[in-house]
Structure 1
Amino acid sequence: MAKKNIPYDQKYYDPEIECMPRPELEAMQLERLQEMVQYAYDNTVYYKRSFDEAGVKPSDIKTLEDLQKFPFIDKKTERETQHVGSFFGEMCSVPEEDVIFMATSSGSTGVPTVSPFTQEDFDLWQDTEARLFWQAGMRPTDRYVHGLNFALYVGGPDVIGAQRLGALAIWVGAVPSDRLIFVLQQYQPTIIWTSPSYAWTLGEKIKEKGLDPRTDFSIHT
């Protein structure tokens, strides 16, 4: 649900969370950590096995610092456990029918790692994206062009975060530069998301067309 009722001059997207006093924040973090670790132990093959092998149990977490007692995972662990025993592997804590979205890493350093999302996961993720966009200066009055590839890796769908805070989201994706320049001229977006190197290249192509990136477009971010 888009939060279009947030005052546009409000500094924080969610002041209750973002401005929470440190003691309250850490108390909430501890409570959620305890719930998460217990859930992981009860519902995943990998975490139950690794906790048992390390001689720790969820009830051992009494403070945030107690997390140091638990096994550490990395991408190697993810690769070795995915697709083992089930489609999503030994780290997934829900049945496949509860998964509504699947992302992967880019695979640039090896086999792509899989990240399944339930609806709750996806909604929480997009709230986080909306908060990041808000902090960067995006408001519901903005027009946002998503000029990045839509792919399995998680960078793709984050355009939904812009929609979540109420901005006009223009789903463009990876298109030829001439087409993207046309979109920028036609719809005059105020914000674009793309890679820094491509933004530079796009600016050079705009100048080749006799246009000025600073004055002929509305983009300010």
Structure 2
Amino acid sequence: MNMIESQYWNPKTETLPREQLRALQFVKLQNMVAWAEARSPYYRRSFAEAGFSIDQLRTWDDYQRIPFLTRDQWMHSQNSVPPYGELPVVGHEGAIRIHTTSGTSGRTPLRALDSRKDWFWSAEMWCYALWGQGVRSSDIAYMAFGYGSFIGFWGLHNGLEKMGALVVPGGAQSTTQRVKQIVDFDCTVVATTPTYAFRMAQEARALGIDLPASKVRTLVLSGEPAGMIPETKALIEAEWGAKAYDTAGMTEISTIFMFEPKDQPGGCHIIEDHLYEQVVDSDTLEELPYGERGERVTTSFGRSAIPLIKYRTGDAVVKVPHTSTTNGRTFDLYEGGILGRVDDMKLVRGTNMYPRAVEGIVRGYAVEEFQIRIEKVGIRDEIFLTVEPHVGIADHEWSAMEAQLGNELAEAHEGLRFIIQRAETDSLPRFELKAKRLQDLR
């Protein structure tokens, strides 16, 4: 393997000239649309209602003819034709595994079927990220993950095995047991959510374990936008004495769609030889140019059991061209990774509040955990920020922190006042998967 190849899992496609990459994407798009139209009851009906058929897909301009797919439409199909809906091209007999979304309280999770071919593809997608982050077959990787029906890091596990790395499954373990195993097995790679990386670091301190002195050198983060918040990432890296890299995936495609490579260019490369991704205005559905924030829309070329075509993800992103980096990849990037959800923004007394922006500020202080709560007090909306400071913060230190934090949050939000409250040590909830730090009780 030469020096150039050593940077990439798939040197040919990761460095393919853009014109050839677009041509490859279009052939794959035509194949996927034809597959869905012929085999999926949902797409056959959806295309017919939109007056579209595969015969009309001759140029990229024709992509606009394809109707969008939303999560609500998918869920409606699933509820109308339980348990899997009409999107799949196979029934359970043609699949080898079922996975669900992590779910929301009171909401039925999305159920997804995958074939053996789909799981091979899922592992391949993870290999792009792992190889680009410096993981090799000599590594020992710990999966700090519950291994339930939530899709989580299943594909990552498969990708590590495909690369020949030794995998330590961390399911059905307490946080204490996981931290001890990471050290006992001399793990060099740990896969986790950003929130749980903090949780394990807290546990290590309580156990007297020096994580920076351990063999861990790489943290593969996923599941939360916090993986690309500079302040959060810097704290995680300091706690572990290791480099942290962001990735993002979704149950709907069964795997990741972007990754942060080893040179950390301030964004994540989209795996464009396996996906076609647009950024659109959520209201007009018009495609946005590079550099503008909008909603991510994806078409997957690899998942065959459930084709995913022009799916509105609800992810807020900003796409920038591949020329923003010098690492040789011709894949475009999402600057800052996933910026949150398009519906995450909260309007409070006429001012926009983004949870990601709040976290970026809070993580600059000596804080173990925090919660945001929005309530209507009388006729006025109020934001309460409950903060659990590091153990040992004295009252006078807290008073100074509270004032400085309040001022910084107000400056970042057009003078909007945050009511800051101190929480007792270990009183705020800890999270293993995706953190839920925002409550809107209005």
TM-score (norm 1): 0.90
Alignment partner, residue 118 of structure 2 = 121
What pairs up with 1:46-85 in 2 under 5 angstroms? Answer: 46-82=42-78, 84-85=80-81
1:148 shift after superposition: 1.4
- Contact 1:103/1:154 (8 A) holds in 2: yes
Alignment partner, residue 141 of structure 2 = 144
1:91 shift after superposition: 0.6
Which residue of 6, 9, 25 corresponds with 1:10? 6
CA distance 1:131–1:90, shift in 2 (3 Å):
same
Alignment partner, residue 100 of structure 1 = 96
Q: Distance in 1 between matches of 2:202 and 2:5?
A: 34
Q: Distance in 1 between matches of 2:180 and 2:121?
A: 34
User: Identity, % of aligned pairs?
Assistant: 26
Which residue of 172, 197, 200 corresponds with 2:195? 197
Q: Distance in 2 between matches of 1:47 and 1:9?
A: 39
Aligned length: 216
Structure 2: gaps of 5 or more residues: 219-442
**In terms of mean alpha carbon deviation, does 101-110 or 143-152 score higher?**
101-110
Alignment partner, residue 170 of structure 1 = 168
1:194 shift after superposition: 1.3
Q: Distance in 2 between matches of 1:8 and 1:196?
A: 31
- Contact 1:148/1:173 (8 A) holds in 2: yes
- Contact 2:47/2:67 (8 A) holds in 1: yes
CA distance 1:9–1:31, shift in 2 (3 Å):
closer
**In terms of mean alpha carbon deviation, does 109-118 or 157-166 score higher?**
109-118
Alignment partner, residue 359 of structure 2 = none
The answer as to 2:128 corresponding to 1:131 is yes
CA distance 1:6–1:107, shift in 2 (3 Å):
farther
Structure having the larger proportion of residues in helix: 1
Question: Which of the pair has the greater relative contact order for Cα pairs under 8 Å at 6+ separation?
Answer: 1
Q: Which has the larger radius of gyration?
A: 2
- Contact 2:94/2:115 (8 A) holds in 1: yes
CA distance 1:74–1:95, shift in 2 (3 Å):
same
- Contact 2:5/2:11 (8 A) holds in 1: no
1:84 shift after superposition: 4.2
Q: Distance in 1 between matches of 2:139 and 2:193?
A: 20
Structure 1: gaps of 5 or more residues: none
SS at 1:151 equivalent:
coil
Alpha-carbon RMSD across the aligned residues, in angstroms, is 2.1
Q: Distance in 2 between matches of 1:170 and 1:35?
A: 38
